[in-house]
Amino acid sequence: AQQPPDSCQTLCDCLEAAKTVKCVDGNLTAVPPDLPPYVRNLFITGNRLARLPAGAFPAQRLPDLSALNLSGNHLRAVEAGALAALPALRQLDLSGNPLVSLSPLAFGEGGSPLEELALRGALRDHGVLLSLATMLQSGVLRNLSRLELADNGLLLLPAGMFTALPALRQLDLSNNSLVGLRNVSFQGLGQLQSLDLSDNSLGVLRNGTLAQFRSLPALRHISLGRNAWVCDCAIEDLVAWLKESDQVEGKEALTCAYPDKMLGKALLKINSSDLNCSVPVDLPSQLQTSYVFLGIVLALIGAIFLLVLYLNRKGIKKWMHNIRDACRDHMEGYHYRYEINADPRLTNLSSNSDV
């Protein structure tokens, strides 16, 4: 008798020979509960899962699942333990999901065999970025060799985000809005081979970052194209590194974005004379110069004041005489009253006259 079709055949395209199951654009709201145990490659894309709860994948029911693609599912939450029961999982793609919650315990606490993680366009929420950093720093993904964080509008990365990824070989940070790497540590990434920083807003790379790049023995492919390089004195270290390093791909095409007079100039063709960097003056000399300038200003003000006095000397002299006469009349009035009050006879006379 013919067996009734199971839900895998109803909701998905199940290919046992290829050990692949595809549940694409089917308006699914949850992971199908009875996926076949032979599956190695599982595509659940273009659906409406909304959340991935704990136990979304039946414990130990999918022993061979190696590649899991959950991109474009409108996923907003990946909860603790949602991906913990997949002992063979090597590749996970969560790209294109508007995540607002990503549990640092999504893979459980015991560690995951995951080697490739794609989060392209899934980290628009800053809280999710911090949760991812916590997850990575916990060491649960120590086997990760490829991490894709492109297209997320990232301005800055959490400090120490990559410190517990000793097996990482490829890191993709392209097409973000990174303005600097000052708080980013690449120390410990001894296996890192490829770093993509293209299509960002980097204006300069500081000496500390360049020193880290030099210290990574396997790093031979750095992409820096389409950034907003600011060609002022601060870029001298970067230019010197570019000229000596063989780590940067297509470095000949890197050009200045600012200032206007340097727009389009190749970074490799910049010389110190182009930047017009003068030797900085030490602080005591600056203070001495300020004091001299202040003295000159005060002397000028004093000279102007004396000149005004000289030009108005007649008016000032007349004004002084008027003040002196007024003061003298005032004092004579006080003196007259004092004499009347001091002489008893004048006092009695003044009293009688009042009567």
Q: Looking at residue 43, which CATH number applies to its domain?
A: 3.80.10.10
- β partners of residue 196: 172, 223
Tell me which of 262, 281, 300 is where a domain ends. Answer: 281
Nearest to 200 by CA among 220, 176, 218: 176
Q: Strand, helix or coil at 31?
A: coil
Shared domain for 122 and 222, answered yes or no, is yes
Report whether pLDDT(59) > 90: no
Q: Minimal CA–CA distance to 44: which of 35, 126, 53, 169?
A: 35
- Using pLDDT thresholds of 50, 70 and 90, give the confidence band for residue 1: very low
Q: Is residue 252 part of a domain?
A: yes
Calculate mean pLDDT across residues 229-250: 94
Residue 4 placed within a domain: no
Q: What is the pLDDT of residue 339?
A: 66
Q: Which helix (H) or strand (E) holds 126?
A: helix 126-137
| Range of lowest pLDDT (83-87, 252-256, 328-332) | 328-332
User: What integer is the mean pLDDT of 60-77?
Assistant: 94
- Same domain for 267 and 127: yes
Strand partners, 222: 195, 248
Instruction: Say if 352 falls within a structural domain.
Output: no
Residue 195 lies in a domain: yes
Q: Mind listing the pLDDT tens digit for each residue in 184-211?
A: 999 889 999 999 999 999 999 999 999 9
Q: Report yes or no on 355 lying in a domain.
A: no
- The rounded distance, in Å, linking the Cα atoms of 281 and 290 is 13
Answer yes or no: is 6 within a domain: no
Based on the fold, state whether residues 97 and 153 are members of the same structural domain: yes
Which of 281, 303, 338 is a domain's end point?
281
Whether pLDDT at 37 is above 60: yes
Higher-pLDDT residue of 130, 57: 130
Predicted local confidence at residue 223, as pLDDT: 97
pLDDT band at 333 (very low <50, low <70, confident <90, very high): confident
- pLDDT for the residue 17: 92
Q: How far apart are CA 56 and CA 43, in angstroms?
A: 14
- Cα–Cα distance for residue pair 189/211, rounded to 1 Å: 14
160 and 218 together in one domain: yes
User: What pLDDT is recorded for position 324?
Assistant: 81
Q: Is residue 204 part of a domain?
A: yes
pTM beyond 0.85, yes or no? no
Task: Indicate whether 299 and 264 sit together in one domain.
Answer: no
Predicted confidence at residue 131, as pLDDT, reads 97
Residues 181 and 127 in one domain: yes
Please tell me whether residues 25 and 116 are part of one structural domain: yes
Q: Given a cut of 70, is residue 344 above it in pLDDT?
A: no
In a shared domain, residues 232 and 302:
no
Are 302 and 189 in the same domain?
no
pLDDT band at residue 5 using 50, 70 and 90 as cut-offs? very low
Q: How confident is the model at residue 313 (pLDDT cuts 50, 70, 90)?
A: confident
DSSP 304-336: HHHHHHHHTHHHHHHHHHHHHHHHHHHHHHHHH
**349 has pLDDT over 90:** no
Both 310 and 238 in a single domain?
no
Q: How far apart are CA 312 and CA 302, in angstroms?
A: 16
| Predicted local distance difference test score (pLDDT) of residue 124 | 92
Question: For the chain, what is the mean pLDDT?
Answer: 88
Task: Please state the rounded mean pLDDT for residues 160-188.
Answer: 94
Instruction: Flag whether 144 is in a domain.
Output: yes
Find the helix or strand (DSSP H, E) in which 139 lies: none
Burial class (CB in 10 A: 0-12, 13-18, 19+), 270: buried
Residue that is last in its domain, among 237, 261, 281:
281
Are residues 275 and 134 part of one domain?
Answer: yes
Q: Report percent pLDDT > 90 for the chain.
A: 65
pLDDT at 354: 52
Q: Tell me, yes or no, whether 65 and 189 share the same domain.
A: yes
Range of the domain at 78: 13-281
Judged against a pLDDT cut of 50, whether residue 173 lies above it is answered with yes
Q: Tokens in use for 239?
A: 């230019």
User: What letter would DSSP give residue 208?
Assistant: H
How many domains would you assign to the chain? 2
Q: Which letter, b or e, does each residue of 20-45 get, where b requires 16 or more Cβ atoms within 10 Å of its Cβ?
A: bbbbeebebeebbeebbebbbbbbbb
